[in-house]
């Protein structure tokens, strides 16, 4: 018999999960996890870029972890998470190297994309959160991805010139901006992203930079799925197990 499970904060749905390692162009070993749908080819792959490691960000930051826990089963999406250079705290361990303020992390992003390509994963998307959005914006406009989804973009490290590169790119760019963000609120985001005519700004009422709470997490994952696999939008609030 099948069983209906309410999807809660700690819910982990079925996926093929494995720890991974890959090497950057400057020879550093980075650690991570790849979560794949069970029994089907992924319709898309999210390459996730975590928040600032000097302020507790890592591959297990809760929105990214919950994406890996749910989206393979609910939306047929693969989720690749990894620790950027010098970042640890996850069960996979610590990636080699040292934090470089978003500079040498370009090589980390490129190594993750190469790994995804070597795995023959298709329809690649960058999904950055906070510091991770800076990496996506600075280095993603010319990469073999369909676009970037930005969660709480602070726009501290991204120059106007780097933003402008997206204007000449056909890649999709979606920014999900909390109403009460600590760094960039929705009205300011509309102004800052105005140099990219096709940028989509999604304000989220009541939300904060860290997307605390299940309702905030559900909204973020819904918006990701709306962009990447709209046939599965909105995500269900329950999971029905296959009949035994």
44 — pLDDT class (breaks 50, 70, 90): very high
Answer positive or negative: Cα dihedral of 120, 126, 129, 132: positive
DSSP 3-state assignment of 110?
A: helix
CATH of the domain at 124: 3.40.50.1820
β-pair type (147-151, 200-208)? unpaired
Give the residue-averaged pLDDT of 46-75: 98
Give the residue-averaged pLDDT of 66-81: 98
Instruction: Kindly tell me if the per-residue pLDDT of 69 is higher than 80.
Output: yes
pLDDT tens profile 130-171: 999 999 999 999 999 999 999 999 999 999 999 999 999 999
β-pair type (124-129, 44-49)? parallel
Map tokens 């070993």 to a residue.
Answer: 29
Please tell me the total count of domains within the chain: 1
Q: What pLDDT does 244 receive?
A: 62
Burial class (CB in 10 A: 0-12, 13-18, 19+), 3: exposed
Tokens of 65: 């972890």
Higher pLDDT, 133 or 1: 133
Instruction: Kindly tell me if the per-residue pLDDT of 33 is higher than 90.
Output: yes
Tokens of 100: 């470089």
Map tokens 């297990």 to a residue.
Answer: 60
Q: What pLDDT does 94 receive?
A: 98
User: What range does the domain containing 167 cover?
Assistant: 4-240
Instruction: Kindly tell me if the per-residue pLDDT of 200 is higher than 90.
Output: yes
Q: What pLDDT does 225 receive?
A: 98
Give the residue-averaged pLDDT of 51-77: 98
pTM exceeds 0.95 = yes
Give the residue-averaged pLDDT of 200-207: 98
pLDDT tens profile 82-108: 999 999 999 999 999 999 999 999 999
């Amino acid at each position: 018999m099948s069983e209906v499970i309410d999807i809660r904060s700690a819910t982990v749905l079925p996926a093929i999960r494995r720890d991974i390692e890959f090497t950057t162009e400057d020879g550093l070993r980075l650690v991570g996890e790849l979560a794949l749908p069970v029994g089907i080819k992924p319709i898309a792959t999210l390459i996730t870029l975590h928040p600032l490691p000097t302020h507790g960000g890592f591959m297990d930051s809760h929105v990214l972890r919950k994406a890996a826990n749910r989206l393979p089963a609910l939306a047929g999406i693969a989720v690749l998470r990894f620790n950027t250079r010098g970042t640890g705290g996850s069960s996979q361990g610590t990636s080699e190297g040292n934090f470089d303020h978003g500079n040498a992390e370009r090589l980390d992003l490129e190594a993750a994309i190469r790994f995804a390509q070597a795995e023959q994963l298709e329809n690649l998307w960058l999904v950055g959160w906070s510091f991770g959005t800076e990496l996506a914006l600075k280095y993603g406009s010319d990469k073999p991805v369909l676009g970037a989804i930005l969660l709480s973009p602070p726009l501290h490290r991204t120059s106007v010139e780097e933003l402008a590169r997206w204007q000449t790119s056909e890649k999709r760019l979606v920014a999900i901006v909390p109403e009460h963000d600590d760094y960039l609120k929705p009205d300011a985001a509309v102004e800052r992203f105005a140099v990219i005519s096709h940028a989509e700004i999604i304000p989220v009422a009541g939300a904060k930079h860290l997307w605390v709470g299940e309702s905030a997490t559900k909204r973020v994952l819904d918006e990701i799925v709306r962009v990447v696999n709209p046939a599965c939008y909105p995500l269900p609030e329950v999971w029905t197990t296959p009949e035994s």
